[in-house]
Amino acid sequence: MEAAMRYIGIDLGTSAVKLILMGADGTIYKTVSKEYPISFPRPGWSEQNPCDWYEQTKAGIRELTEGTDTTDIAGMSFGGQMHGLVILDKDDNVIRPAILWNDGRTDKECQYLNNVIGRDKLSEYTANIAFAGFTAPKLLWLKTNEPDNFARISKIMLPKDYLAYRLTGVHCTDYSDASGMLLLDVKNRCWSGQMLSICGISMEQMPALYESYEKVGTLREAVAEELGLARDTIVAAGAGDNAAAAIGTGTTGSGRCNISLGTSGTIFISSDRFSVDDNNALHSFAHADGNYHLMGCMLSAASCNKWWMDGIIGTKDYSKEQEPITDDMLGNNHVYFLPYLMGERSPHNDPHARGTFTGLTMDTTRTDMTQAVLEGVAFAIRDSFEVAGKLGIKIDRTTICGGGAKSRLWCRIIANVLGIDVDMPALEEGPSQGAAMLAMVACKEYDSVKAAVDAIVKVSGTIHPDKEIAARYDRRYNEFAGIYPALKNVFASLA
């Protein structure tokens, strides 16, 4: 009997690469995580060495497959942190550390793009406007501040695509990840000549474009030998982390929603048609299933809770800190938290925004502040839901994933803040799971992404909103929504 094939999903995150070995039926055989450093050369800057990603990915693959028969591993693919600028010289060597998605150095460049080139033009060219984390503003920053490095650029890549290149020798990217560069004509799924010209780069410097589920190549001979894998192991293009996670949660087709509570937080709304909101508050991107999606992104989500727990109150026992928060406290907290520790993207597009606690009094407790952090992230997610609602998009349920989703309390808060059902996936491995499923499609295990989703993705349970709690949160959200506008000029003056 022919052996069932297995697939490797690689999630190139901000703090670590996570890998899974997955069967075609969704069985997870093994998971591995390998960390690497992140550097902050100046306040608001964020960089990593792409070579660290590759070395830790190789180490992860070796550990993942240790002691197993690797002849039945048919393919691999990626989910990756988006927007990072990776530049290679004519010999394909990395020129400088990658400037990451959460780097805020490009305020001047974003102002130029949005106000001089103009938001209308940017939206026409790319379906989006400039945000501090996007790739195009980083190129303009590099052109001005590191002209020698800019002049050496032979290829411009995104983080996960650097892995694909090192594994296969192919300079590639996929449409979902490329959508976040502000260099892609999202509607027509091609590079925007106008945007390349604005950034002073050529078509030859850009990688080839693929659908996320398409084969880009097979392993280089030396790489296959080093990893102990077959030379003909297929490598698929993969997707941006949120699009990959959405595949893993079954968020495909029209009007489906997924919330990701990772380092950053996202609301991901899949669609079978292209659309753009009037103010470009939500990103309009290509999806890994070959269609499109709208996405709201907040730069600090589960990282807010980690900052509060680890850095401020000094504990790793997150669940113990959340135990005192009872149902009668939900929607009754007098403390508000703005979760803008790294600035904010959707819907404010303000790199100067900062985190704040508002409403502290002498009787405020540690538990009140812990609750406020969880609620602040939920309220910020609702900001994006409000924009979707104005587009006429009705969302009555969502799936949820990411490290923060392990907190049942946090999921319950989100269900009530949004007033919708929250489905808990039976299997939740984030972008690595979606990446493995994309590899399955590339290897013809399934005919389409939808077929893979239908076969693998299941829901383990649903959290329903409570009418009374949801009503209390409605009132609290309206108060929360007034805090950022009141402080916007303060943030700008502090910067």
Residues 6+ apart with CB under 8 A from 467: none
CA distance to 103, 160, 199, 262, 345, per residue, from 141 (Å): 12, 22, 10, 28, 19
The residue written with tokens 């303009």 in the block is 140
Contact 337, 356 (CB under 8 A): yes
pLDDT in tens, 426-463: 988 889 999 999 999 999 999 999 999 999 999 999 99
Angle, alpha carbons 156-449-411 (nearest 5°): 90
Of 8, 63, 55, which Cα lies nearest the Cα of 35?
Answer: 55
Cα R_g (the chain), whole angstroms:
22
pLDDT in tens, 251-298: 998 889 999 898 889 899 998 889 888 888 899 999 999 999 999 989
Contact 15, 33 (CB under 8 A): no
> Which parts are annotated binding residues for substrate?
82-83
- Reported as half-sphere exposure (CB side, CA atoms, 13 A), residue 71 has a value of 3
313 with 392, same domain: the answer is yes
Contact 7, 238 (CB under 8 A): no
Give the whole-angstrom CA distance, residue 401 versus residue 403. 7
35 with 105, same domain: the answer is yes
Residues 6+ apart with CB under 8 A from 308: 369, 370, 373
Q: How many separate domains does the chain show?
A: 2
Indicate whether 368 belongs to any domain.
yes
Which H/E stretch holds residue 168?
helix 159-168
82 with 164, same domain: the answer is yes
261 with 301, same domain: the answer is yes
Indicate whether 439 belongs to any domain.
no
Bridge partners of 284, per DSSP, are: 294
Indicate whether 45 belongs to any domain.
yes
423 with 357, same domain: the answer is yes
User: Where does 243-291 show beta strands of DSSP type E?
Assistant: 257-261, 265-271, 283-286
pLDDT value, residue 313 = 97
Angle, alpha carbons 433-37-54 (nearest 5°): 55
Give the whole-angstrom CA distance, residue 181 versus residue 198. 13
The residue written with tokens 């609750």 in the block is 371
- What is the pTM (predicted TM-score) of this model? 0.88
Which string of DSSP letters, residue by residue, matches 53-68? HHHHHHHHHHHHHTTS
168 with 283, same domain: the answer is no
If one counts every other C-beta atom within 10 angstroms of the C-beta of residue 121, the result is 16
Whether 69 is catalytic is no
> Which parts are annotated binding residues?
82-83
Of 5, 32, 6, 36, which Cα lies nearest the Cα of 18?
Answer: 32
Indicate whether 469 belongs to any domain.
yes
Last residue of a domain, one of 221, 242, 263: 242
Indicate whether 359 belongs to any domain.
yes
Catalytic, out of 103, 177, 241, 277: 241
226 with 317, same domain: the answer is no
Contact 79, 432 (CB under 8 A): yes
184 with 318, same domain: the answer is no
Q: Which residues of 10-46 are buried (b: 16+ CB within 10 A; e: fewer)?
A: bbbbbebbbbbbbbbebeeebbbbbebeeeeeeebeb
Which H/E stretch holds residue 29?
strand 28-35
Last residue of a domain, one of 185, 215, 242: 242
Taking each helix axis as running N to C, give the angle between helix 449-456 and helix 241-248, from 0 to 180 degrees, rounded to the nearest 10. 50
- CATH number, position 485: 3.30.420.40
Residue 41 CA, chain-centre distance (Å), reads: 23
pLDDT in tens, 8-51: 999 999 999 999 999 999 999 999 999 999 999 998 899 999 99
Indicate whether 456 belongs to any domain.
no
Give the whole-angstrom CA distance, residue 15 versus residue 4. 33
143 with 231, same domain: the answer is yes
Q: Which structural domain range is residue 116 located in? A: 6-242
- Reduced to 3 states, what is the DSSP secondary structure of residue 79? strand
258 with 403, same domain: the answer is yes
283 with 227, same domain: the answer is no
pLDDT value, residue 390 = 86
Last residue of a domain, one of 190, 219, 242: 242
384 with 270, same domain: the answer is yes
φ and ψ at residue 403, rounded to 5 degrees: -60, -35
Residues 6+ apart with CB under 8 A from 485: none
Which H/E stretch holds residue 451?
helix 449-456
Residues of the chain with pLDDT under 50: 1
Which H/E stretch holds residue 441?
helix 431-442
Of 355, 329, 332, which Cα lies nearest the Cα of 342?
Answer: 355
